[in-house]
Structure 1
Amino acid sequence: MASVSLCPQKWAVWILLLVSCANAFYIPGYSVTRYNDNDPIPLLVNKIFSDNTQLQYAYFDLPFVCPPSGKTHGGSPFGSGQSVSLNLGEVLRGDRIMTSDFELAMGKDLECQALCTREVSRSDVKWARQLVKEGYVIEWIADNLPGATSFVTVDRSRKYYASGFKLGYRDISPVSGQPRYFINNHFTIVIRWRSAPEGGKLVVGFEVYPKSITAEDRTESGCPKAVHKDNEGLGLYLPPNLSRMQEKYSGLSYIPEDDEDDDGATLKIPYTYSVYFREDTKIDWASRWDLYFTNQGESSITHWLAILNSLTISTVLGVTVFVIWSRTVQGDLKGRGDGAMDDRKTKGRTRQRSEKKGDGSLEDNDVERDADYSDDESVEDTAGWKLLHGDVFRTPAHSGLLAPLVGSGMQLLFMATGLLLLSCLGVLNPSYRGGFVSVGMGLFVFAGVFSGYFSGRLYKTFGGSAWRKNTLITALLFPGLAFCLILLLNLFVWAQASSTAIPFSTLIGLLAMWLLIQVPLVYLGSWVGYVRAKPWEHPLKTNAISRQIPTQPWYLRVPIGPIMTGLIPFAVLFIELLFVFKNLWQDKTGYYYVFGFLSAVSVVLIVTVVEVTVIATYSQLCSENYHWWWQSFLTGGSSAFWIFAYCIWYYLFKLHITGFVSSLLFFSYSFLACAVYGLLTGTVGFLAAYAFVRRVYGYDTRQML
């Protein structure tokens, strides 16, 4: 067969073809929708949320907004109020997306359109005032873009969006000095579009400008006579109940207005909207989400400083680990040996001299030389980690709990790695609403195989025999505790009628995923790890009688030692935590988008955890303490303690969360996140220490042979 050779030009052509094919893949949430003139654009309503509370509410559950009429619009087979199918992540994050009665047609401006007039009772007015006071904003969706409030930088050089728009606003009465509350009942919708190269028009922006307009001075259609001029706002106020006022002045007990029962008084709130389409050629469709990512330039500098800080800390620790390995460990082994080696050499010389003398006795000068040799070596070489060769691999206490925890940590490590990788590739992006949580749940369930495998094999290494019991603990321990916590929190949220509450059907679905999918996968992995795979072999045998451990220095004791070492990984992660917490708790209208920086910091964090655990384990072994199994796990996950302490500080000094339920949700979810982080990094620390100890004492064994 003749050989085929390609010239450099042909290789270049092949490379260009491969590069061109690399762009032809689909990312969820990135499907392009092209509109022709007068094509309907569905406007979906979702929920209201606030930066000051963790409770969210479905838009149509609000008693003071226009309810869905059920009519169809724009040729859609579904009437308004129809629920849109949601993925698991959308449900868990509190989304309740439904079709609405707003009519938007591409390129067709609408000066004013009346929606409805809603009569609101006294109790509903009170609730609306409370929601306005807590700073709630509304989220609508058009062409997969959330309705945004538009802002311009101080120097007017750049425009950016904040997801959502205000439900209402508050000001101070110039007469009484008391706060007044107004509700936004007119919405100016601006759709920004640009022409598509293939034809049609693409939506590149969705802006909503809310306004409060009094119910007076309106046309027959219900629209204000001057929509875009300064208008008096519609106040959320009803006159006090006169019967209660009479009770007050007659000397009877008086109940304040906010606590009055409904007496039939209502407040009429007319809702209207305007629609305008504006061409914008400065925004590309592929980059239309960039406007939601605020302060990219300034934050990028901070992220690079965070990475530099993390690399500096990790490099210093790396040098320390290198010195420990190259100077101390290998120097001790190659240079002096350990107590076990000395004993073998002494016994060997004794046997040789006995054989030479022939009668099995030693000459006096030989005994004196051996005694001098042993005394000299015992001063220098029989202290520290070398004395633990017969106990270092002794099965730890509560090994039946350590193995499931390590298995769960491997499961979480696989999930976190997959999420970061998919986020860096752009598969998980803000346009894929709920995708991060949905994919994370899928990866966690699938990773049950890895959880069972590592738990079963480690359990077998510890000498355990009840592997089915270990499998059951692995499959039920962490997921069960997390599910029970979420179920308990759900009871409090249900009582608040919030959309943050997980629906009962979703809870049943989660329970089915756990018991019917994950548990069998954990069993499969555990069967492979315990029955089919061999246990990890240790290079040294364990003595029958355990060695007595001397008194340990205060900085190596539990919990002081692990807590102190946890400060170093926390210092690596601290700056990035500022951005994560800001987007997660403080600024919910923004989006966290710098997964590349987060991935880099996460890699440095893992390396730092490995280095810290190795140093702490070596220090512990040098103090003749062979209980390193649990100590290494606690050392690896100890930075979770500082992260939770940072959560408490953040709650006290940065957040303005109001209400018992919101505070309970904050601390519960923070604790759960720290537990996940602690399991993950604790497993990394344990595996690093295990590999280090096996390497050190395995090298020791080869030297003794």
Structure 2
Amino acid sequence: MLLWLLGAALLARAAGFYLPGLAPVSFCEAGHDQVPDCRSTIELFVNRLDSVESVLPYEYTAFDFCSKNTEKRPSENLGQVLFGERIEPSPYKFEFKKSQECQKVCMRAYDTNNPSDKAKLDFLKKGMLLNYQHHWIVDNMPVTWCYDVEDGQKFCNPGFPIGCYVTEGGHPKDACVVNSNFNEKDAFYIFNHVDITIYYHIVEHEQLGLFELLFFLRSIMNSLVIVLFLSGMVAMIMLRTLHKDIARYNQMDSVEDAQEEFGWKLVHGDVFRPPRKGMLLSVFLGSGTQIFIMTFVTLFFACLGFLSPANRGALMTCAVVLWVLLGTPAGYVAARLYKSFGGEKWKTNVLLTAFLCPGVVFADFFVMNLILWGEGSSAAMPFGTLVAILALWFCISVPLTFIGAYFGFKKGIEHPVRTNQIPRQIPEQSFYTKPFPGIVMGGILPFGCIFIQLFFILNSIWSHQMYYMFGFLFLVFIILVITCSEATILLCYFHLCAEDYHWQWRSFLTSSFTAVYFLVYAIHYFFSKLQITGLASTILYFGYTMIMALIFFLFTGTIGFFACFWFVTKIYSVVKVD
């Protein structure tokens, strides 16, 4: 086995400004003090073990490997705990620029007649059958396993397997194919010897990752061009068509002209009529606002580099803390919209805003955590952390939601036109203006602008790849917001022209149907890209996917509703209504 630590893991000298979590560490030989605050000892840490064939990660010590139990493990933030990271010190220690050879770390002996030893061996065999991977860390960088492949090239992987298996038919599985010496039938080979090579850079500044950046640019450029082109087309159609309508309607001064009115102006007395199930819609919009602001702020800081992968767990920690602190806008939006819908059950509204959507997410997460507990996985959240999350929810988020609702109910929303007492009859609709076809079509364009990024994100979650292109993700986020808004406004305009004034729920569902396409894509990804086996892993995959789909449903639906709300308010305030 040959493990390569690639990149600028160790720096002898560094100068300049660095973002939090990105400042390099200076190393020097023992006894040399030319560089201030330099280290001579290089520590290697071990992280959880995972597999592309199983969603269940396990701690390093679960496999009875050589460990260093006397040292205190590094403290973990909330994000690391939620992602199941379990970083521990290892018995592997190095001195800077000092070679070491043939160092014995520990010995293990097992007696198959001993039930405890037999259980350890069986668990180790299971790990090799499922191709579980080590993840080691040096200087906050992943240790990379590189090996020779065809045509004299090298293949590198961030992690290395604990071993491999040759079947009874002599077929080598997984890592056993890299060495022809692994040829004994029905045999397990444990990789208990490692050669570690550490590279370091003596530089002041170096721009890394140019090749990866170019590769990544080529992979998403076509999608960005198509999305921008379609967005421009939708905007142009809306501006030209709507401008002509407003100009024509404002020129109608005579009674005869008014009698010839048609389209969206005919429903001006019903367009702000409260929707059915206004309570539920206002709660969804309050929670969606909370998620939207949380996502925007998190991606903005990640784009600046403050939440880089080098700062482990920072992204999830930031998202959770922001969600807790954003209870006030959630309560405010839900309460103000509910009051504008004519609702009077303000206590029910604020309670549902505080508990409905977060409760569904927590219930799903708790069930998944029970499965992880039952399987003994390192991803199972400790009881203390679970209590801490509940405390953040009940003691901070819920009171802030009540405060926001208090101010939201003090003032409703004034509409530019009055609502008639008797609802106008909606004429028979064509197939394309009926609710379901419009909703289905409305989610296609927003999904088209994210599916490439979605592939990389799913890879980082389920295939254990590192995601670091947050600048492009933030750009796609902005494009998604624009595309959801334009697609919803366009369909809303067509429905109003067809004299269908039920736009509130339709605008929300038109944009949020993108989450359905996301769910379909996640199912396709599961069957085509992953090799997950086992009932527990399958349940965990779809359980966590449902949480992501619900969050995406609320997020995109909120964008569509407020875009359509702005559009409807704008057009009925700039025309003359008799």
Is residue 109–residue 276 contact of structure 1 (8 Å, CA) maintained in 2? no
Query: What is the CA deviation profile of residues 304-357 of structure 1, one whole-angstrom value per residue up to 9, with x for unaligned ones?
Result: 2221111011111111211232123x13312336xxxxxxx54xxxxxxxxxxx
Find the residue that maps to 1:36 and give its secondary structure: coil
Matched residues in 1 for 2:150 and 2:247: separation? 63
Q: 1:547 aligns with which of 424, 433, 437?
A: 424
Tell me the residue number matched to 2:365.
486
Query: What is the CA deviation profile of residues 655-696 of structure 1, one whole-angstrom value per residue up to 9, with x for unaligned ones?
Result: 211111211122122221121112111111111111111111
Q: 1:276 to 1:592 in 2, by over 3 A?
A: closer
Tell me the residue number matched to 1:624.
499
CA-based RMSD of the aligned residues comes to 3.0
TM-score (norm 1): 0.72
Tell me the residue number matched to 1:135.
131
Matched residues in 2 for 1:536 and 1:671: separation? 34
Is residue 129–residue 236 contact of structure 1 (8 Å, CA) maintained in 2? no
Alignment of 1:164 with 2:190, yes or no, is no
Aligned residues: 548
Query: What is the CA deviation profile of residues 540-572 of structure 1, one whole-angstrom value per residue up to 9, with x for unaligned ones?
Result: 111111122222223333333201221121122
1:605 Cα deviation from its structure 2 partner: 1.5
The letter for the 2-side match of 1:466 is K
Find the residue that maps to 2:453 and give its secondary structure: helix
Is residue 162–residue 191 contact of structure 2 (8 Å, CA) maintained in 1? no
1:135 Cα deviation from its structure 2 partner: 2.0
Matched residues in 2 for 1:285 and 1:92: separation? 34
Tell me the residue number matched to 1:444.
323
Is residue 519–residue 549 contact of structure 2 (8 Å, CA) maintained in 1? yes
Matched residues in 1 for 2:204 and 2:375: separation? 42
Q: 1:274 to 1:303 in 2, by over 3 A?
A: closer
Find the residue that maps to 1:544 and give its secondary structure: coil
Tell me the residue number matched to 1:319.
236
Tell me the residue number matched to 2:512.
637
Is residue 133–residue 161 contact of structure 2 (8 Å, CA) maintained in 1? yes
Paired-residue identity, %: 33
Tell me the residue number matched to 1:667.
542
The letter for the 2-side match of 1:124 is K
Q: 1:101 aligns with which of 91, 107, 113?
A: 91
Is residue 454–residue 529 contact of structure 1 (8 Å, CA) maintained in 2? yes
Alignment of 1:144 with 2:134, yes or no, is no
The letter for the 2-side match of 1:623 is A
The letter for the 1-side match of 2:317 is S
Q: 1:545 to 1:29 in 2, by over 3 A?
A: same
Greater relative contact order: 1 or 2 (C-alpha under 8 angstroms, separation 6 or more)?
2
Alignment of 1:575 with 2:452, yes or no, is yes
The letter for the 1-side match of 2:325 is F
Alignment of 1:40 with 2:36, yes or no, is no
Is residue 116–residue 271 contact of structure 1 (8 Å, CA) maintained in 2? no
Query: What is the CA deviation profile of residues 284-319 of structure 1, one whole-angstrom value per residue up to 9, with x for unaligned ones?
Result: 77657x4xx984432211222221111011111111
Q: 1:271 to 1:644 in 2, by over 3 A?
A: closer
Q: 1:30 to 1:387 in 2, by over 3 A?
A: same
What does 1:140-219 correspond to in 2, within 5 Å? Answer: 140-150=136-146, 162-171=157-166, 177-179=169-171
Matched residues in 2 for 1:643 and 1:412: separation? 17
Find the residue that maps to 1:545 and give its secondary structure: coil
Is residue 164–residue 174 contact of structure 2 (8 Å, CA) maintained in 1? yes
Find the residue that maps to 1:115 and give its secondary structure: coil
The letter for the 2-side match of 1:636 is S
Is residue 182–residue 233 contact of structure 1 (8 Å, CA) maintained in 2? no
1:634 Cα deviation from its structure 2 partner: 0.6
The letter for the 2-side match of 1:649 is H
Alignment of 1:84 with 2:74, yes or no, is yes
Find the residue that maps to 1:85 and give its secondary structure: coil
1:276 Cα deviation from its structure 2 partner: 5.1
Is residue 166–residue 187 contact of structure 2 (8 Å, CA) maintained in 1? no
The letter for the 2-side match of 1:167 is I
Is residue 110–residue 274 contact of structure 1 (8 Å, CA) maintained in 2? no
Matched residues in 2 for 1:271 and 1:285: separation? 37
1:232 Cα deviation from its structure 2 partner: 7.5
Q: 1:389 to 1:142 in 2, by over 3 A?
A: same
Alignment of 1:332 with 2:333, yes or no, is no
Q: 1:551 to 1:119 in 2, by over 3 A?
A: farther
Tell me the residue number matched to 1:305.
222
1:122 Cα deviation from its structure 2 partner: 3.5
Tell me the residue number matched to 2:478.
603
Matched residues in 1 for 2:305 and 2:352: separation? 36
Is residue 125–residue 236 contact of structure 1 (8 Å, CA) maintained in 2? no
